[in-house]
C-alpha cells in the first residue's frame, strides 16, 4: 500500500478511501475506474466515427488504434508518464507497432510444439523437449528422484542459454536461434548432465557450430556466471515469497477455441506493484523494463536500447498432432512459466493424464537460473517441491546437493484446452487454485 501511495494516479484508483481506516476498496464494493472508462469510451467513439463514415471494420479498428497511440489518449498518457519521472514521448508511442511473427517450433515424438521466438523465454520449452526426447522419462516414473533430477538439470541447461542468448531479434546482434533449437545441439547439452548430483555451475552452451557459424562471444562465456547468487542467498524466505507473490499477481493466461479448430493462446501481464498509472488514462504502465541487462557480459542480446523489447517471461503455447490442434496451454509465474509448461505437457504426453489432472499435478521449480526481475540474482541448487513429496525422495534429493523448500502449490495457475478429435470434444483444464476456470458455450 505504501508503494502505491508514492504514485498520485495509482493511489486515486487503487485506494479510493484514502485517509480512512481502510483505504482499499471494501469487500463487496464495486471497484470503479472512471478514467479507464473514459479511455475505453474514446476508443469506441473513434471506431464508431470511422464506421459512420463508411470505412471497413479493419479501418475502424485502426482508427481506435491511432487515437490510442497518436491522439488525445497518447497525449495524456505521455503527460502523466513524464509528470511522474517517466521518459516516454509521443514519438515513442507513435512508432510502436505489433509484430506479426512466425513462431518457432520443435517436434517431440511427432507432436509439433509452437512458441513465440526469443524476445520471450518461450524457446526454452522447445530446448528442454529436444533434450528430454533422448531420455526414457516414463521408465523413471512420475516425480521419482531420477525424474525430478532429470527435469531440474535440463531446465538449468536451457535457462542458462536463455540468460545469455535471448533478446529482441529486431536488434543486433542476431540470436543463434537455429542452433539453440537444433536436435544435435540438444544431444550435446544433454552430455553435460551429471546423473548423480546437481551441477550448481551450469553455463550457456555454444549453439553457433550447429548453424555453421563461429561464436563471437566465446570470451564472455569463459567468464559468465550466475552473477548475484550470493545476494539471493541472503534474502529471507519471507522476502522471496513476497516478491514472487507480487509479480505473479500481474499475469493472466487465456485459452480460447472454436469448433472449427481456431485457437488463441495468450499471456497478458503487467500491473503489479508499483502499478504506476499514466495520468488520467487509467492505464497501468509495464514493469518489464527491469528484465533488460546493462552489462553485455551477462547477455549481449538483451542490453537495454531505445525502442528495444526486453526479454520477457510471457510464454503462451500451442501443440499440433497429426495436423490438428492438440493442446493450447499457458500459465502465470515469471521464470517458472516454461518449467510449469514442460511438466504439464509431459503429464499429458508421457504419463497419460487428462488435461485437468495435468493442470493440478504437483510440479517442481528450479531457481538456479538468473531471475528476470529485480536484481537478476540466482539460487543455484534451490529446488521447490510440492509438500506431498515423500520424505525418502526429499532425503535422496538432499543427498544429491539440492537445497529444498516446499509449498502446497508449486506452479502458477495453468489454463489449457485439450482437443479430442476422435470423440469431437474439447476439454478445458484449469488449476484448482487461483481464479482460473473454463467456460463452454
Name the one residue in this structure whose C-alpha cell is 520424505. 391
Its pTM stands at: 0.93
pLDDT of residue 243: 47
pLDDT above 90 as % of the chain? 83
The answer on 108 and 51 residing in a single domain is: no
220 occurs within a structural domain: yes
**Which runs of E-coded beta strand occur in 60-194?**
104-108, 111-115
What residues form DSSP beta bridges with 257? 263
Q: Which residues contact residue 195 at a Cβ distance below 8 angstroms, ignoring those fewer than 6 apart?
A: 146, 149, 150
Q: Do both 11 and 69 map to the same domain? A: yes
Count the domains in the chain: 2
Which one has a higher pLDDT value, 412 or 48?
Answer: 48
CATH of the domain at 407: 3.60.20.40
- Position 229 confidence tier, pLDDT thresholds 50, 70, 90: very low
Mean pLDDT score, 228-243: 50
Distance in angstroms (rounded) separating the CA atoms of residues 392 and 332: 30
Out of 175-184, 229-238, 408-417, 419-428, the most confident range is: 175-184
In DSSP terms, 419 is beta-bridged to 426
Q: Which residue has the higher pLDDT, 281 or 441?
A: 281
- Check if the beta carbon of residue 405 is closer than 8 Å to that of residue 384: yes
- Banded model confidence at residue 237, pLDDT cuts 50, 70, 90: low
* pLDDT tens string 261-271: 899 999 988 77
- Residue whose C-alpha is closest to residue 131's, from 218, 220, 202: 202
* Domain residue limits at 45: 2-95
Residue 301: inside a domain, yes or no? no
What's the pLDDT band for 241 if we cut at 50, 70, 90? low
Residues 214 and 251 in one domain: yes
Question: Which H or E run includes 256?
Answer: strand 254-257
- Average predicted confidence (pLDDT) for the chain: 93
Q: Are residues 123 and 35 in the same domain?
A: no
Residue 181 and residue 81 in one domain: no
Q: Give CA–CA dist 313/361, Å, rounded.
A: 22
Taking 60 as the threshold, does the pLDDT of residue 251 lie above it?
yes
Q: Are residues 85 and 109 in the same domain?
A: no
The yes-or-no verdict on residue 37 having pLDDT over 80 is yes
Q: What is the chain's Cα-based Rg?
A: 23
- Is the domain of 161 the same as that of 224? yes
Q: Do 156 and 112 lie in a common domain?
A: yes
In a domain? residue 19 = yes
Q: 119 and 307 in contact (C-beta within 8 Å)? A: no
Whether residue 244 is predicted with pLDDT greater than 60 in this model: the reply is: no
Rounded Cα distance, 380 and 374, in Å: 17
On the question of pLDDT at 411 being above 90, the answer is no
**113 and 77 within one domain:** no
pLDDT digits (tens, 9 = 90+) for 350-370: 999 999 999 999 999 999 999
For residue 254, what are the CA distances in angstroms to 80, 100, 439?
Answer: 30, 19, 11
Dump pLDDT digits (tens) for 317-343.
999 999 999 999 999 889 999 999 999
Residue 198 near residue 402 (C-beta atoms within 8 A) = yes
Q: Are residues 252 and 168 in the same domain?
A: yes
* Tens digit of each residue's pLDDT (9 = 90 or more) over 113-132: 999 999 999 999 999 999 99
pLDDT higher than threshold 90 for residue 225: no
> 308 in the Ramachandran plot: left (φ > 0), alpha (ψ -120 to 50) or beta?
beta
Query: Is the residue at 57 inside a domain?
Result: yes
pLDDT digits (tens, 9 = 90+) for 147-159: 999 999 999 999 9
CA distance 427 to 274: 37
The neighbouring-strand residues paired with 331 are 414
Same domain for 389 and 240: yes
Q: Is residue 350 part of a domain?
A: yes
Is residue 67 located within the same domain as residue 200? no
Amino acid at each position: 500500500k505504501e508503494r502505491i501511495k508514492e504514485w498520485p494516479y495509482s493511489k486515486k484508483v487503487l485506494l479510493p478511501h484514502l485517509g480512512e481506516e481502510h483505504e482499499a476498496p471494501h469487500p463487496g464494493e464495486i471497484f470503479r475506474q472512471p478514467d479507464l472508462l473514459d479511455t475505453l469510451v474514446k476508443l469506441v467513439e473513434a471506431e464508431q466515427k470511422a464506421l459512420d463514415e463508411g470505412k471497413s471494420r479493419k479501418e475502424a479498428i485502426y482508427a481506435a488504434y491511432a487515437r490510442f497511440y497518436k491522439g488525445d489518449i497518447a497525449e495524456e498518457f505521455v503527460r502523466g508518464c513524464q509528470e511522474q519521472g517517466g521518459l516516454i514521448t509521443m514519438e515513442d508511442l507513435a512508432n510502436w507497432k505489433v509484430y506479426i511473427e512466425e513462431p518457432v517450433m520443435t517436434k517431440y515424438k511427432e507432436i509439433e510444439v509452437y512458441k513465440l521466438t526469443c524476445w520471450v523465454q518461450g524457446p526454452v520449452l522447445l530446448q528442454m523437449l529436444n533434450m528430454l526426447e533422448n531420455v526414457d522419462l516414463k521408465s523413471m516414473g512420475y516425480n521419482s528422484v531420477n525424474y525430478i533430477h532429470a527435469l531440474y538439470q535440463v531446465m538449468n541447461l536451457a535457462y542458462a542459454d536463455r540468460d545469455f542468448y535471448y533478446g529482441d531479434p529486431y536488434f543486433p546482434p542476431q540470436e543463434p536461434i537455429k542452433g539453440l533449437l537444433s536436435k544435435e545441439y540438444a544431444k550435446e547439452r544433454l552430455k553435460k548432465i551429471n546423473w548423480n548430483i546437481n551441477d550448481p555451475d551450469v553455463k550457456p552452451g555454444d549453439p553457433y557450430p550447429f548453424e555453421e557459424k563461429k561464436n563471437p562471444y566465446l570470451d564472455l562465456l569463459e567468464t559468465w556466471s550466475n552473477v548475484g547468487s550470493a545476494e539471493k542467498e541472503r534474502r529471507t524466505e519471507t522476502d522471496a515469497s513476497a516478491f514472487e507473490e507480487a509479480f505473479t499477481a500481474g499475469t493472466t493466461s487465456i485459452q480460447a477455441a472454436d469448433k472449427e479448430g481456431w485457437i488463441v493462446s495468450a499471456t497478458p501481464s503487467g500491473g503489479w506493484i508499483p502499478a504506476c498509472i499514466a495520468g488520467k488514462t487509467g492505464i497501468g504502465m509495464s514493469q518489464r523494463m527491469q528484465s533488460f541487462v546493462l552489462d553485455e557480459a551477462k547477455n549481449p542480446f538483451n542490453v537495454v536500447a531505445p525502442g528495444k523489447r526486453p526479454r520477457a517471461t510471457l510464454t503462451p503455447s500451442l501443440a499440433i498432432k497429426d495436423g490438428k490442434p492438440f493442446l493450447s496451454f499457458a500459465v502465470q509465474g515469471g521464470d517458472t512459466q516454461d518449467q510449469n509448461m514442460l511438466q504439464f505437457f509431459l503429464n499429458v504426453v508421457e504419463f497419460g493424464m487428462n488435461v485437468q489432472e495435468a493442470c493440478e499435478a504437483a510440479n517442481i521449480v528450479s531457481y538456479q537460473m538468473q531471475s528476470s526481475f529485480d536484481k537478476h540474482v540466482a539460487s543455484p541448487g534451490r529446488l521447490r517441491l510440492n509438500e506431498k513429496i515423500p520424505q525418502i525422495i526429499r532425503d535422496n534429493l538432499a543427498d544429491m546437493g539440492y537445497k529444498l523448500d516446499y509449498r502446497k502449490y508449486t506452479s502458477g495457475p495453468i489454463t489449457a484446452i485439450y482437443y479430442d478429435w476422435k470423440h469431437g470434444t474439447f476439454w478445458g483444464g484449469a488449476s484448482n487454485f487461483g481464479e482460473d476456470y473454463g467456460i463452454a458455450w
